[in-house]
Structure 1
């Protein structure tokens, strides 16, 4: 959490100090994906799901050369999965709704209004709740531990590091359109029980489409 906040402060401090900086807001929708993989020798079990969500927040473009810029963003996002099939647990379907603060920092090349680039993405989980489809009365907090300090195989870590790919177009009046893909690179699984020779890996990713408005050229 301290690393996340320090990165936010440094990025926006740099933006404020830059004379070639434009600030703005952006909002749009996303399609998020969550993949669980349990490995035990040559036996692998995989559960995959997706959910339509949203993203909204602030953005800046910090000019560092004629055609190059750094674009930090601070986004409130909804992610998760909807009706993910888990056959090994009795053919149940799970719904997971996760809210995060994401900070993609993209090194972009821009020309004639077009821009695109790559960079890291930092994500901090605010809330992650799971329900079994058809039983909305019971809700599980995937960030919580039970009275004995144990977690379930679906439990998640709050912090995730990933990579971001961004492409878009910015009009002369400041209106912009962008498409980005974020791939989580760290294991989200918080499960710490004894699985003998097995391991659990949880990875997330999402595709986002946004409309933004920059206040400065």
Structure 2
């Protein structure tokens, strides 16, 4: 997770999260596919300082559309890909622990009204991925997702919050 406040960039430590989904391939040429699907992805971050610990967990439903190039046949071969993503925030939780004051926890509300919501619901980003086909359908891959949307509802000031994540996947492709 990345945040920028008053022209000062701050990278919040990544937090391990869960991801699961389905992927579908559609061949364009012998070596190029469009790969899409629907994923549940936990994004967020954590920050720790003297006497202070902050954790942000954001749950999204994500729709990637990747263009994938296969080096050879789709068995025992490598592949690379990239493409846009559209993610919709569905739930989340913010937790802060301050030494001597205890722990505060709050549910995250997604929307566009700064009086009612904490973060914007929609997150637009891009994927880059690389992997290996164990069989025509079974694959292993690593992926980086870079969110472009400022999650803060009020864009009028210089404060920005963006999602970024790494993922390791073992998956099964349909429509291969």
In the alignment, structure 2 segments of 5+ residues that lack a partner are none
Map 1:45-194 to 2 at 5 A.
46=10, 48-82=12-46, 84-85=47-48, 92-112=52-72, 113-133=77-97, 135-136=102-103, 138-143=104-109, 149=115, 155-172=118-135, 174-191=137-154
Higher helix share: 1
- Larger Rg over CA atoms: 1
The answer for the alignment partner of 1:202 in structure 2 is 161
Q: What TM-score do the two structures reach when normalised by structure 1? A: 0.68
Counterparts of 1:95 and 1:186 in 2: how far apart (Å)?
20
CA distance in structure 2 between the partners assigned to 1:109 and 1:173 by the alignment? 14
Partner of 1:9: none
Q: What is the alpha-carbon distance in structure 2 between the residues aligned to residue 130 and residue 37 of structure 1?
A: 18
* 1:35 Cα deviation after fit: 1.8
| Structure 1: gaps spanning 5 or more residues | 1-33
- 1:49-75 deviations in whole A, cap 9, x for unaligned? 320012101001110111111000211
Aligned mates of 1:207, 1:123 — CA distance in 2 = 15
TM-score using structure 2 length: 0.82
